[in-house]
């Protein structure tokens, strides 16, 4: 087992254990709110490592909590805590020159997320993903993980004031 996979497995299991009450509360509130209209989870087919497709599940909410079920994919080995953003198998970045992004597992977070995510042009996000693929190492993963929560908090803090303008 590589150090990266060990970090993913033990980190994913620890986060699932700590966040399980929150996962249950979100699932219950969504189940009550939707009352069977589409279910609690949103499913999307994405390309994993080596191009193997898998069904990625997220909560049907537009908050940062939507990604919590991704921890199950991390523990199962379909995703990593850190990696390129997950894309559909037919996406242009999953074929040709950019196919090298499929040499690593897609991640819950990555350079694209801590660098501005939705504010970045698509081409820049693509470059960040490919930079990660070409240069990743455990220290980079730890640095990205350390910067993820502050990046999410910054985006949440900016959004309400941006709406007022």
- The answer to whether the CB of 16 falls within 8 A of the CB of 72 is yes
Distances (CA, A) of 143 to 82, 105, 137: 10, 18, 10
53-59 and 41-47 strand pairing: antiparallel
Q: Considering only CA atoms, which of 56, 53, 129, 121 is closest in space to residue 98?
A: 129
CB-CB contact of 112 with 120 (8 Å): yes
Average pLDDT over residues 6-29: 96
Residue 133: pLDDT band (50, 70, 90) is very high
pLDDT at 165: 39
* φ, ψ dihedrals at 110, nearest 5°: -175, -175
The string of pLDDT tens digits covering residues 139-155 is 999 999 999 988 877 76
pLDDT tens for residues 24-70? 999 999 999 877 677 899 999 999 999 999 999 999 988 879 999 99
């Amino acid at each position: 087992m590589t150090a990266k996979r060990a970090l993913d497995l033990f980190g994913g299991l620890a986060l699932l254990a700590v966040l399980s009450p929150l996962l249950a509360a979100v699932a219950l509130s969504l189940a009550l709110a939707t009352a069977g209209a589409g279910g609690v989870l949103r499913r999307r087919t994405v390309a994993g490592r080596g191009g193997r497709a898998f069904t990625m599940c997220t909560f049907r909410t537009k908050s940062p909590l939507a990604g919590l079920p991704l921890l199950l994919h991390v523990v199962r080995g379909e995703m990593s805590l850190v990696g390129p953003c997950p894309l559909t198998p037919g996406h242009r970045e999953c074929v040709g020159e950019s196919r090298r992004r499929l040499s690593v597992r897609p991640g819950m977070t990555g350079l694209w997320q801590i660098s501005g995510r939705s504010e970045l042009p698509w081409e820049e996000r693509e470059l960040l993903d490919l930079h990660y693929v070409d240069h990743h190492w455990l220290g980079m993963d730890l640095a990205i993980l350390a910067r993820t929560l502050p990046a999410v908090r910054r985006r949440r803090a900016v959004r309400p004031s941006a709406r007022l303008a």
